[in-house]
Amino acid sequence: MDVNEVLLPGVGLLYEFVNREGDKIGVVARRSGDFELAVYEEGDPDQARAVFRLTGEEADVVADILGAPRIAERFADLTKEVPGLSAGQVEVLAGTPFAGRPLGESRARTRTGASIVAIVRGEDVIPSPGPEQILRAGDVLVVIGTREGIAAVEQLVRS
Amino acid sequence: MHISVALLLELGIILAFLGLLGTLARRFALSPVPLYLLVGLALGEGGIAPVPAAGSFVETGAGIGVVLLLLVLGLEFTVPEFTVSLRRHLPSAWVDLVLNATPGAVAGWLLGLDAGGILALAGVTYISSSGIIARLLGDLRRMSNRETPAVLSVLVLEDFAMAAYLPLLAVVAAGGTWQQALLGVLLALGAVVAALTMSYWWGHHLGRLLSHPDEEQLLLRVLGVTLIVSALAEAVHVSAAVGAFLVGLSLTGEAADRARKVLSPLRDLFAAVFFLAIGLSIPPDSLLPVLPVALLLAVVTAATKVASGWYAARREGAGRRGRLRAGTALIARGEFSIVIIGLMGTGHDRLGALVAAYVLLLAVAGPVITRFTGPRASGTKHSPRQGTPVP
């Protein structure tokens, strides 16, 4: 997909692209950190209709929602490029020992050699979770390591 | 320490009143600049409510206001934005300069002003208010329109032209010869190039020197250095405003972003004081005689701005409506026309009154005209929401 980048001197940047349905979409990224989304009238690229504005914080939330399903995929893509490395997803089931306990207590990396690089929780993604991160039932752990390592994490969490 | 009750009270009442007027202006998406001028006019000698005690503060504050206006303008500037604008829109910038400076110069000549007065009036009619226009385009949600990059580029190039123009004006206004004026401009241009080169190669070093994780430290350092440089620039007759602009230019990246954030509220306060001071220095009864000339000049230069915006937007490939929107967006004059008059100082009373009336007219009319050339007039098919004003 081609994204056209236009400089708005003193204001920021305007990104323009056309989606599969043929709508031309503009995103204004202001220097202040705010964003504005606009669509263009059919056949008239001069006149944009501003759809909504987002503060930097709101834009982060939208980006997370749109990006969450893709995070695991992206890790999977990454591991294809490194032979011997795989990515896997391990769900924390209710009633298993680590549900409700900090990630650090699993001592997953020390015991299996595989790393937990992200936690997908509903529509949120917690990237690079720290050892103090409390796991919840239903969390999906994104694990990177050898196949054996990932299997060992699965066993550890499920036991 | 003795605290003057009269000073605090007068200043407090003035600021509270300005705040109230500013709220009203924002509601109609107008610039507060003309309101501050009007309040100044009302408070001056011969006005309705003189304020003797606050006068000395306003006088001092006005000087700081000019310095802060130009400093923050310089901070807004990035080298890539300037070079991209220059490469794409240089012809538009020339058209803008020739079409809009000429009516001012001709009017100055017809009015029998001296060289400084003619030059000042040319600058007044040339420079659009980037502050008013950028805010207006955001409020009217026109940032993603085809014509907007052209409009913003013209504004950036105008602001940059001010860096060469202000020292020229300072020298000519001081009664210097043309050789001195030329020297002043070369000196200023050299300083601008030096500041840009420095910011390009060593900007991060300067940033590291001035910036500090603590906001208070950052504020004190940047403000301190700016005032020193401004004082030195004023001492060699390059004008304090240009000195401040140079400091702003030299700072880039994160240091500039943070400096802009801490300085902007201070700029807003002192700029308001500056506009107030200009209003104060003009006797209200001198406005009426210059009103016909100001009105004529306003009509002519509104038309020439529409023409230059039309040209700039056409080069970007915008259609007729886009060109009209670009043209009308450029009409508003404001802070920098007032800065020019501030530089001319006393001895040009008639010019001051003329420019005050001119800015009063165009700072109000510009945003109103711009708004009415929006989607409402263009009659686009979709969504009634487009036509309603943005609150």
Which one of A17, A36, A47, A54 would you mutate to disrupt binding with B, by most B Cβ within 10 Å of its Cβ? A47
Q: Specify the amino acid at residue B192.
A: V
pLDDT confidence tier of residue B330, bands split at 50, 70 and 90: very high
Number of domains in chain A: 2
Contact criterion met (CB < 8 Å) for A36 and B378: no
Residue A76: per-residue pLDDT:
64
In whole angstroms, give the CA distance from residue B374 to residue B376. 5
Give, as one character, the DSSP assignment of residue B389: P
Q: Which residues, 6 or more positions from A82, have their beta carbon under 8 angstroms from its beta carbon? A: none
Identify all chain A residues contacting B93, using CB atoms and an 8 Å cutoff.
none
Q: Is A64 exposed, middle or buried (0-12, 13-18, 19+ CB in 10 A)?
A: middle
> What average pLDDT does this structure show over B17-34?
83
pLDDT at residue B355 tops 90: yes
Tally C-beta pairs within 8 A across A and B. 79
* CA B169 remoteness from chain centre: 15
**From B72, which residue of chain A is nearest by alpha-carbon distance?**
A10
Pair A67, A90 in one domain: no
Residue B377: per-residue pLDDT:
38
Residue A153: per-residue pLDDT:
86
Contact criterion met (CB < 8 Å) for B143 and A8: yes
Pair A73, A93 in one domain: no
> What average pLDDT does this structure show over B292-314?
95
Check CB contact of B89 with chain A, cutoff 8 Å.
no
pLDDT at residue B100 tops 50: yes
pLDDT at residue B310 tops 60: yes
B263 neighbors B222 (Cβ within 8 angstroms)? yes
**From B88, which residue of chain A is nearest by alpha-carbon distance?**
A7
pLDDT at residue B347 tops 90: no
Check CB contact of B322 with chain A, cutoff 8 Å.
yes
B71 neighbors B21 (Cβ within 8 angstroms)? no
What residues does A54 pair with on adjacent strands?
A35
Residue A73: per-residue pLDDT:
67
**Which among B41, B136, B47 is positioned nearest to B326, based on CA atoms?**
B136
**From B376, which residue of chain A is nearest by alpha-carbon distance?**
A47
pLDDT confidence tier of residue B326, bands split at 50, 70 and 90: very high
Residue B388: per-residue pLDDT:
41
Q: Specify the amino acid at residue B303.
A: A
* DSSP string across B201-246: HHHHHHHHHH--SSHHHHHHHHHHHHHHHHHHHHHTTS-HHHHHHH
| Beta strand A124-127 pairing with A115-121 | antiparallel
**Which among B75, B67, B120, B57 is positioned nearest to B233, based on CA atoms?**
B67
Nearest to B145 among A10, A11, A47 (CB): A47
Residue B223: per-residue pLDDT:
93
**Which among B148, B162, B268, B163 is positioned nearest to A45, based on CA atoms?**
B148
The whole-chain average pLDDT of chain B stands at: 85
CATH of the domain at A101: 3.30.70.1450
Tokens 């600021």 correspond to what residue? B15
Q: Which residues, 6 or more positions from B22, have their beta carbon under 8 angstroms from its beta carbon? A: B32, B35
What are B182-232's pLDDT values in tens digits?
887 787 778 778 877 877 777 667 777 777 788 888 899 999 999 999 998
Identify all chain A residues contacting B383, using CB atoms and an 8 Å cutoff.
49
**For chain B, percent of residues with pLDDT exceeding 70:** 93
pLDDT confidence tier of residue B384, bands split at 50, 70 and 90: very low
pLDDT confidence tier of residue B346, bands split at 50, 70 and 90: low
What residues does A7 pair with on adjacent strands?
A13
Residue A43: per-residue pLDDT:
65
Q: What angle do CA B209, B210, B214 make, to 5 degrees?
A: 115
In whole angstroms, give the CA distance from residue B369 to residue B55. 36
More confident residue, B376 or B329: B329
Residue A157: per-residue pLDDT:
82
Pair A110, A46 in one domain: no
Q: What angle do CA A70, A75, A80 make, to 5 degrees?
A: 125
Of A78, A101, A116, the last residue of a domain is: A78
Neighbours of A154 (CB within 10 A): 18
Residue B193: per-residue pLDDT:
81
Of A57, A78, A99, the last residue of a domain is: A78
Domains, chain B, with CATH or none: 9-374 (1.20.1530.20)
Contact criterion met (CB < 8 Å) for A10 and B141: no
- Max Cα distance, chain B (Å): 67
Residue B380: per-residue pLDDT:
40
Q: What angle do CA A91, A97, A102 make, to 5 degrees?
A: 80
A105 neighbors A98 (Cβ within 8 angstroms)? yes
Q: How far is CA A1 from CA A18, A20, A62, A67, A149, in A?
A: 8, 9, 20, 17, 37
Residue A109: per-residue pLDDT:
81
Pair A46, A97 in one domain: no
Pair A96, A147 in one domain: yes
- The predicted model scores a pTM of 0.76
Residue B382: per-residue pLDDT:
41
Pair A95, A115 in one domain: yes
Residue A78: per-residue pLDDT:
66
What is the span of the domain harbouring residue A60?
4-78
Chain A interface, Cβ < 8 Å to B:
6-11, 14, 16, 26, 28, 30-31, 36, 38, 40-41, 44-50
Residue B306: per-residue pLDDT:
95
> What average pLDDT does this structure show over B76-100?
90
Identify all chain A residues contacting B80, using CB atoms and an 8 Å cutoff.
7
Q: Specify the amino acid at residue B205.
A: H
Of the listed ranges A42-56, A139-153, B146-160, B346-360, the least confidently predicted one is A42-56
Residue B239: per-residue pLDDT:
80
Check CB contact of B130 with chain A, cutoff 8 Å.
yes
The whole-chain average pLDDT of chain A stands at: 82
Identify all chain A residues contacting B377, using CB atoms and an 8 Å cutoff.
none
Of A43, A78, A113, the last residue of a domain is: A78
Residue B299: per-residue pLDDT:
96
**Could you tell me if the ipTM is greater than 0.85?**
no
Residue B183: per-residue pLDDT:
80
Residue A75: per-residue pLDDT:
66
The packing angle between helices B349-372 and B335-344, to 10°, is 180
More confident residue, B48 or B31: B31
Q: Specify the amino acid at residue B220.
A: L
Pair A46, A98 in one domain: no
Neighbours of B329 (CB within 10 A): 35
Minimal C-alpha gap between A85 and chain B (Å): 38
> What average pLDDT does this structure show over A40-54?
79
Hey, which residues 151-180 in chain B have their CB within 8 Å of chain A? 152-153, 155-156
pLDDT at residue B3 tops 70: yes
Query: Under DSSP, is residue A24 helix (H, G, I), strand (E, B) or coil?
Result: strand
Calculate the CA dihedral of residues B233, B237, B240, B243 and round it to 10 degrees: -40
**From A15, which residue of chain B is nearest by alpha-carbon distance?**
B144
Residues in chain B: 391
Pair A123, A60 in one domain: no
Identify all chain B residues contacting A47, using CB atoms and an 8 Å cutoff.
145-146, 321-322, 375, 378, 380
The helix (H) or strand (E) run that includes residue B142 is none
Give, as one character, the DSSP assignment of residue A102: B
Pair A69, A36 in one domain: yes
**Which among B185, B259, B180, B184 is positioned nearest to B218, based on CA atoms?**
B259
Pair A73, A90 in one domain: no
pLDDT confidence tier of residue B385, bands split at 50, 70 and 90: very low
What residues does A89 pair with on adjacent strands?
A142
Identify all chain B residues contacting A43, using CB atoms and an 8 Å cutoff.
none
pLDDT confidence tier of residue A69, bands split at 50, 70 and 90: low
Contact criterion met (CB < 8 Å) for B144 and A36: yes
In whole angstroms, give the CA distance from residue B220 to residue B230. 15
Pair A68, A27 in one domain: yes
Pair A46, A93 in one domain: no
